[in-house]
Amino acid sequence: MAYGRIRPTLLRGAALSVLLAGMVAAAHAEEPKSFSSLPPELKALYVGVEDTLQPSAYDGFKMPPKPWKWCHSESYQGNPWRVSVTHELERLVGEYKDKGWVSSFEMSDSNGDTSQQIAQIRAFIDKKCSIITSFAGSSTALNEAIEAAYKAGIPFVTGAGAVTSPYAVNVDSNYVKFGYDLAKGIVDSLGGKGNVLRVEGIAGSPLVAQQRAGADKAFAEAPGITVLRDVNGNWSANVTKTVVLQVLATAPQQIDAVWTSGSEARVVDDAFAQAGRPIPLVTGSISGDALGYWKAHPDQFKFFGGALMPSWTAQTLFRVGVRVLEGQEPKLGTLMIPVPPVRQAELDKWYQSCMTPDAVSVFPVAPQDPMPEALLDGYFNKPAATPLFDYAKTPDPCAK
């Protein structure tokens, strides 16, 4: 069928194989007893990925005393979304520094080099960090370093992409489902027939493998959908526009939709307009520049997606990190966070006046906290609200 024409790169294929192999292996493992204690709202976040469940390694883990030394290991700071996450994490840690609860905050950036990220994590261990939060550049490559941190008494908490190590706490979302939902939105919008360009993020990222697994499933359910090309836009506006223009220059076929998962919907539309091609439906995570483009071109911008906001990504990573440090004992190795859906008819609810087509570094704030403290409590054996945290204090994206 047409879907069989997809040809992922070896690297993406290897990442997906690792992910799926992990799912198969986990399928033979007994479901953690703690999963049954989750409230229904949290259990629902694991639909389709139940086989990846594993217990937390942090029951009875001896936590370091305050003041904490907070260390953050970044795999890539090359796009505005990641930079915004870092700024919000620094703000939150800064409140604890003001209280004397955190002594210092240190961040490393491996710029996409997994070997360098491993070295940086080991350097954090040598510096006796109290906690290491991380955006991992690989789902598997960091595992030995993560285990070393655990054995040194340093909890390791990841955000935006899970690792397979049993010694980490992953603060994640169901990106398999997210990838599926985006692709299913395309299938339904096109009536099950049409050509799709898929623009993925950073090759090798755990998120890419998870999102691809979901998208593959949805597209496979629609034999009339043809994925013409797979390219990597690195979740970067400049890279995305370049690769989309390259495809448009070499693919004369009509493209009815572009599957992306990042915040590059506006630049995809720009590329099609520059090439003189009809503007397709674009999926992804809503952003300030996309909302500005929609406001300027309400009859042209066609969107289906969600809100993977840097603000709440940083906040959930921080809040889980604090709760782990306080000895609240997470029930599972991966804590799923819901992704608010964003549909075409709701764009006015997300738009603010500062959001122009050029506002690539502006990201809207979800009207409500996707993970309220009371719901987050359900993930911990000894729950208590995160000290000082107030979602209402999330910085206004239009504030100067």
Q: pLDDT by residue (tens digit) across 236-283?
A: 999 999 999 999 999 999 999 999 999 999 999 999 999 999 999 999
Same domain? 2 vs 100: no
Percent of the chain past pLDDT 90, that is, above it, reads 84
- pLDDT band (50, 70, 90) for residue 78: confident
Task: Give the mean pLDDT of the chain.
Answer: 91
- CATH code for position 197: 3.40.50.2300
pLDDT for 190-240, tens place per residue? 999 999 999 999 998 878 988 999 999 999 999 999 999 999 999 999 999
Q: Whole-prediction pTM value? A: 0.84
pLDDT for 154-178, tens place per residue? 999 999 888 999 999 999 999 999 9
Same domain? 99 vs 60: yes
Can you tell me the mean pLDDT for 137-157? Answer: 97
Can you tell me the mean pLDDT for 121-135? Answer: 98
Same domain? 345 vs 330: no
pLDDT score recorded for residue 204: 85
- Please report how the helices 237-250 and 265-274 are oriented relative to each other, as an axis angle in degrees rounded to 10: 40
Q: DSSP string spanning 73-126?
A: EES---SHHHHHHHHHHHHHHHHHHHHTSEEEEEEEE-TT-HHHHHHHHHHHHH
Same domain? 212 vs 328: no
Same domain? 182 vs 318: no
Q: For residue 277, what are the domain limits?
A: 1-28+174-307+340-366
Same domain? 231 vs 148: no
Distances (CA, A) of 80 to 77, 85, 110, 193, 254: 8, 9, 16, 34, 31
Same domain? 88 vs 208: no
Same domain? 245 vs 361: yes
Question: How many domains does the structure of the chain reveal?
Answer: 2
DSSP 17: H
Same domain? 218 vs 325: no
Residues 192 and 217: their CA atoms lie apart, in Å, by 14
Same domain? 201 vs 214: yes
Same domain? 297 vs 373: no
Same domain? 291 vs 257: yes
pLDDT score recorded for residue 301: 96
pLDDT for 305-331, tens place per residue? 999 999 999 999 999 999 999 999 999
